[in-house]
Amino acid sequence: MSKDSELTSKDLEDRINNLIKRFEEQKGIIDAYVKRERGWKKDKVLHKKEISKLEKDLRKARSE
């Protein structure tokens, strides 16, 4: 028989636990990236609003 067919329930349990652990690690990495991405988008919107306000003030000051 091949080595794979000789796996015990403990071996399978260990493999499953390792897969779950890797999944949780990857999930954490993805969640952190999504959180950072949302922060960047929020900052981008705020900066765009600030730039628009400053441009409006500049046009107003030039016309006076």
pLDDT of residue 5: 67
Give a yes or no: residue 56 inside a domain: yes
Predicted confidence (pLDDT) at residue 2 exceeds the cutoff of 80: no
Cα–Cα distance, 27 to 24 (Å, whole number): 5
Give a yes or no: residue 64 inside a domain: yes
Model confidence over 8-64: pLDDT tens digits? Answer: 999 999 999 999 999 999 999 999 999 999 999 999 999 999 999 999 999 999 987
Place of tokens 């260990």: 14
pLDDT of residue 6: 80
Give a yes or no: residue 47 inside a domain: yes
What tokens does 20 get?
Answer: 């779950």
Q: Name every residue whose Cβ is closer than 8 Å to that of residue 60 and which is 6 or more positions away in sequence.
A: none
Residue 57: which domain range?
Answer: 27-64
pLDDT of residue 1: 43
Question: CA 13, 16, 21, 27 torsion: positive or negative?
Answer: negative
pLDDT of residue 51: 96
